[in-house]
Amino acid sequence: MTLPYGAVVLEHFRRPRNQRALERPSAAHEAFNPLCGDRVRIELELHGAAIRAAAFTANACALCTASASLLTDRLVGLAVEAAVRITAAETLAALQTDVPRAREACAVLPLTALKEALRGSEGA
């Protein structure tokens, strides 16, 4: 299978980091794209105001899977406050490839899941 993306996307699609289910996630959210069918679930283990562990499960395209891999790698040890401020632009830049506008939604889907997971954990 040939992918029209760079080495970073290919590496994180073929050997995704943190692709597993956490035993006891304290925050989780599954985001999906209703048309293309990408699905990604981000799970977090929070410890105080920090993220102790982050993992994901995906039935998703290469861009989405690679993005989830890179994002969860970045999250471990990060303050929740900092995680909330991660932007779509940063998420796209992390892929180090030209993401067509029509496919940006795929790459940003894990970030959407992250924000929703953190929103859901507020006050929990």
Partner 1 sequence: MPDILEQLAALREHETRVAMATLIAARGGSPRPIGAKLFVGEGGRLLGSVSIGGCVDARVVEHGERLLRENRAQRVTVTVDDSEAVELGLACGAEFDLLIEPISLNGTDSAIEAFQTATNISRSGKEAYVITRIPAAGPPARMVSSEPFDATGPDVFVERIAPADTLVLVGASDVGAALARIARGLGMRVVVVDGRERYATRDRFATADEILVGMPSELARPHYKAGTYVVLVGHEYKYDLPVLRDALRAPVRYVGMLAGRKRADSMRGLLRDEGLSAEHIARLHSPIGLDIGGREPEEIALSIAAQLIAVREGKPIAQRG
List residues binding partner 1 (CB under 8 A): 1, 14, 30, 32, 34-39, 41, 57-61, 64-65
* CA pair distance 84, 100, nearest whole angstrom: 25
What is the Cα–Cα distance from 84 to 27, expressed in whole angstroms? 13
Q: Which residues contact 93 (CB under 8 A, 6 or more apart)?
A: none
Sequence letter at residue 69 = S
- The amino acid present at 110, given as its one-letter code, is P
CB of 10 to partner 1, least distance (A): 11
Q: Residue 36 or residue 76: which is nearer to partner 1 going by CB?
A: 36
Of 80 and 109, nearer to partner 1 (C-beta) is 109
8, burial (CB in 10 Å: exposed 0-12, middle 13-18, buried 19+): middle
CB of 123 to partner 1, least distance (A): 26
Minimum distance of partner 1 from residue 32's CB (angstroms): 6
| Residue bearing tokens 């180090």 | 96
Q: How far is the CB of 62 from partner 1 (least distance, A)?
A: 8
- Residue whose CB is less far from partner 1, 82 or 105: 105
Token pair belonging to 9: 């996307």
* Of residues 14 and 47, the one with the C-beta less far from partner 1: 14
